[in-house]
Amino acid sequence: MPELQRLDVRHTPALLRFEQENRAYFARSVPDRGDDYFAEFDARLAALLAEQATGQCRFHVLVDDDGSVLGRFNLVDVTDGSAELGYRVAERATGRGLAREGVRRVCELARDAYGLRQLVASATLANPASLAVLRRTGFVPVGEVLLNGKPGLRHVRDLADGSGEGPDPD
């Protein structure tokens, strides 16, 4: 079973490979990171790790047995017991429940290790898989948002309930 690990400099090659291999796939549902992201990857990762060291963000990767990165699960804007959750899973790993499991695990970490009480996450309406993951992990829609000009839904997850699971709509 893949392991959720806190992002570290040792993940650099595998994380870059993950982002490069999935660039076109991710661009179907979220804005492309652009060529500069890849050209300056090492510097950007160093900046993220420095930001993580301040406690304002918590970055995680889902790592397969062979060391490859299957997903990213990030908590950003950590403040006052709350954070924004963002995640992405490799195209080759979709349909295996890894997004749901990664979100569930990061919710547990947020509550138990980081002392957070609430997470917020958003997904575009054009990304039904992410919307389903949020619903299945206890996030509740609280309003409409525009995400890079595309309509989406903002969700909130109260971590105090401890269940990590929402109703399964299927």
Question: In this structure, what DSSP letter does residue 22 have?
Answer: T
CATH number where 92 lies: 3.40.630.30
Residue 166: inside a domain: no
Cβ atoms of residues 163 and 140 within 8 Å: no
Mean pLDDT of the chain: 92
pLDDT for residue 162: 60
Residue 168: inside a domain: no
Residue 88: inside a domain: yes
Residue 94: inside a domain: yes
Residue ranges making up the domain that contains 46: 3-161
Residue 86: inside a domain: yes
Residue 11: inside a domain: yes
Q: Is residue 170 very low, low, confident or very high in pLDDT (cuts 50, 70, 90)?
A: very low
Judged on CB neighbours under 10 Å (0-12, 13-18, 19+), 98 is buried
Residue 167: inside a domain: no
Tell me the pLDDT tens digit for each residue of 57-111: 999 999 999 999 999 999 999 999 999 999 999 999 999 999 999 999 999 999 9
Q: pTM of the entire structure? A: 0.91
| Whether pLDDT at 164 is above 70 | no
Residue 169: inside a domain: no
Show the tokens assigned to 126.
Answer: 């054009």
Domain count, the chain: 1
Tell me the pLDDT tens digit for each residue of 147-160: 888 899 999 999 98
